[in-house]
């Protein structure tokens, strides 16, 4: 693989020096560009080429996340909060005995429900707390999910996703593939035009949005280690990186 001199490189909006190349190709004759660019003007008889390419890698999700909602209703705000705190305490105590498990207490709020006499619902205070449990092994988390459901915590979400570390690794691999593809396509474009690549003016690397989690369909109180297919994800997830570059082409020879 051959790399060419590069003026600037950008990743996630930051520009740094790095070699590389990249199609949605656009050609700009040297004459027109030389009049509008005062920095690094296009050499005489040269052509500016804009290219883009992408690289994608696949992997199985390696992180299982369960999200619970602890909710309580009472005549006073303090009583509702105390009940929610007791439920959250159950989660904390249960997860303390599980290895490789991460607990995060998230959104918490208290509000007054004015009730509805037509539905025979009296005024009450409502307290809610969201709790997220994460593990890399379904056999660790799933028994706890069933236990917490039995303790009156509502399971609102259960899905597999890529961990931050795994996604970072896959992103780097996708970026390498994108740069390689960009270089090959740039060489092919230059060859077709009877030109050669003189230099690379700019390169921008962009990774796409976080892959969507893979939900697991579960019936209430049905999470258990003997649940078929529950211990591992059933599909692959894509991680894609996109490269955009501006190259300078010159006559061959």
In percent, the amount of the chain with pLDDT more than 90 equals: 56
pLDDT at 191: 94
In tens, the pLDDT along 15-67 reads 323 333 333 445 555 444 444 444 566 677 889 999 999 999 999 999 999 99
pLDDT at 165: 92
Rounded CA-CA distance 49/23 in Å is 10
pLDDT beyond 80 at 168? yes
Name the pLDDT band for 224 (thresholds 50, 70, 90): very low
- Average pLDDT on 3-26 reads 38
Name the pLDDT band for 242 (thresholds 50, 70, 90): very high
Name the pLDDT band for 8 (thresholds 50, 70, 90): very low
In tens, the pLDDT along 64-95 reads 999 999 999 999 999 999 999 999 999 999 99
Could you give the domains of the chain? 6-60+174-209+241-251 (no CATH), 63-161 (3.30.70)
- Average pLDDT on 102-114 reads 92
How far CA 197 is from CA of 3, 189, 191, 233, 243, in Å, comes to 10, 9, 9, 45, 17
The side-by-side arrangement of strands in the sheet containing 124-135 is 101-113, 124-135, 63-74, 154-161, 214-215
pLDDT at 193: 93
Least-confidence region, from 32-41, 130-139, 207-216? 32-41
pLDDT at 44: 77
Q: Which tops the pLDDT comparison, 231 or 155? A: 155
Q: Which token pair is 205?
A: 């690397």
pLDDT at 135: 93
In tens, the pLDDT along 109-127 reads 999 999 888 888 889 999 9
Rounded CA-CA distance 108/154 in Å is 15
Q: Which tops the pLDDT comparison, 38 or 247? A: 247
Q: Are 40 and 61 in contact (CB under 8 A)?
A: no
pLDDT beyond 50 at 212? yes
pLDDT beyond 70 at 132? yes
Q: Are 9 and 203 in contact (CB under 8 A)?
A: yes
């Amino acid at each position: 693989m051959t790399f060419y001199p590069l003026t600037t490189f950008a990743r996630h909006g930051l520009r740094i020096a790095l070699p590389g190349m990249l199609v949605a190709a656009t050609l700009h004759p040297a004459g027109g560009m030389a009049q509008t660019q005062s920095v690094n003007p296009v050499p005489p008889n040269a052509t500016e080429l804009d290219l883009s390419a992408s690289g994608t890698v696949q992997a199985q999700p390696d992180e299982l996340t369960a999200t619970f909602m602890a909710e309580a209703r009472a005549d006073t705000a303090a009583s509702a909060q105390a009940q929610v705190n007791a439920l959250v305490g159950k989660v904390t105590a249960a997860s303390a005995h599980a290895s490789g498990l991460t607990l995060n207490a998230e959104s918490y709020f208290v509000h007054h429900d004015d009730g509805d006499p037509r539905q025979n619902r009296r005024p009450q205070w409502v307290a809610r707390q969201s709790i997220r449990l994460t593990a890399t092994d379904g056999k660790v988390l799933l028994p706890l999910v069933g236990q917490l459901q039995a303790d009156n915590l509502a399971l609102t979400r259960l899905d597999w996703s890529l961990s931050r570390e795994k996604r970072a690794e896959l992103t780097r691999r996708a970026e390498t593939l994108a740069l390689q593809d960009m270089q090959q396509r740039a060489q092919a474009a230059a060859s077709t035009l009877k030109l050669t690549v003189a230099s690379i003016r700019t390169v921008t690397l962009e990774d796409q949005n976080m892959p969507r989690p893979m939900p697991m369909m579960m019936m209430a109180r049905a999470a258990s280690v003997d649940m078929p297919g529950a211990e591992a994800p059933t599909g692959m997830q894509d991680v894609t990186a996109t490269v955009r570059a501006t190259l300078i082409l010159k006559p061959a020879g």
